[in-house]
Amino acid sequence: MTTVLPFAGACLMAWGLLQVHPALAVAATIPAAVFLVRLFLLQHDCGHGSFFSSRAANDWLGRALGVVTLTPYDYWRFSHAQHHATSGNLDRRGLGDIDTLTVEEYDQLSTWERLKYRLYRHPLVLLGIGPAYMFLIRHRFPTDVWKMGGLPLRSVIFTNLCAAVLWAGIIFLLGLDVFLTIYLPTVILGSSLGVWLFFIQHQFDGTHWARSDAWSREAAALHGSSFYDLPRPLMWLTGNIGIHHVHHLSSRIPFHRLPQVLKDHPELKEVGRLTLWDSLRCVHLCLWDETTSELISFSEYHRRAALPA
């Protein structure tokens, strides 16, 4: 209720302000987008089986929230479990992760392939165009779901049908202007905020990657996931997901219990800690340098390439 009611209230406020001026309605979608992210994080806990003690309750709430967040719950749950099982493993990248190349892999690319990777990793694409494309389009037609079949496929079909009904209802009952000035901005901004959180949880200065022979789940969880130490109101709004190293160590801990873990184990507060200001400097980290075990920017890549051998 502390998430659903404020989300509904923010949407109603935006709808009321639309009668005054469209720009005011768009501005009012900011709190709606924030609470949409929080709804996604409740769905995230359902996917880990940590929101309710009942698996059925977790799954059905997760599916219902998936319609609101435009995320097919059972399909996402499967891919997200793969992310937890492979996070920080250089030999098993691409499973629910943001694509990241090593310096050696980037060296071997053609000029056109380098341009595509640089475009993909540009902040405007990675945190702007990309998230909107993912939640509005790619989640409607995930190409790998046909190989999975079964529950993930049914989840995509169910979510798409419900989303179509939701969109049609908004347009025909409330008007196209409500869809364009309130619904779409809320989804687009919420998707960007969500992808930013996911990005900074693993793509930060000091993160940890390793090849399979040297990889361990605990080391990857503790050192390959950040502690995004946000101000307390922002930590609450984001469902404490910033305490991500603890979450990867034990994903069955409910989101509202994660701060208690830090109180019980204060040594964890300094592991992978990022402040809001620190995180802004991580946006340009794009390549993993295996020789120094660190993420570097394209400018740092060119600087190192110009040095004598």
Residue span of the structural domain in which 159 resides = 4-98+119-208+215-275
Crossing angle of the two packed helices 150-169 and 55-69, in degrees rounded to 10? 50
* Residue 307 is assigned to a structural domain of this protein: no
Neighbours of 208 (CB within 10 A): 18
* Residue 108 is assigned to a structural domain of this protein: no
Q: Is 30 exposed, middle or buried (0-12, 13-18, 19+ CB in 10 A)?
A: middle
pLDDT on residue 149: 72
* Residue 280 is assigned to a structural domain of this protein: no
pLDDT on residue 238: 95
* Residue 130 is assigned to a structural domain of this protein: yes
Report the number of distinct structural domains present in the chain: 1
* Residue 166 is assigned to a structural domain of this protein: yes
* Residue 77 is assigned to a structural domain of this protein: yes
pLDDT on residue 128: 93
pLDDT on residue 144: 77
* Residue 126 is assigned to a structural domain of this protein: yes
pLDDT, averaged per 10 consecutive residues of the chain (309 residues), comes to 95 94 93 97 96 95 96 92 91 83 95 96 94 93 78 91 96 94 96 95 92 92 94 94 95 94 94 92 93 94 85
pLDDT on residue 98: 87
Among candidate residues 235, 45, 92, 75, the one with its CA nearest the CA of residue 153: 75
pTM of the entire predicted model: 0.92
pLDDT on residue 305: 85
* Residue 29 is assigned to a structural domain of this protein: yes
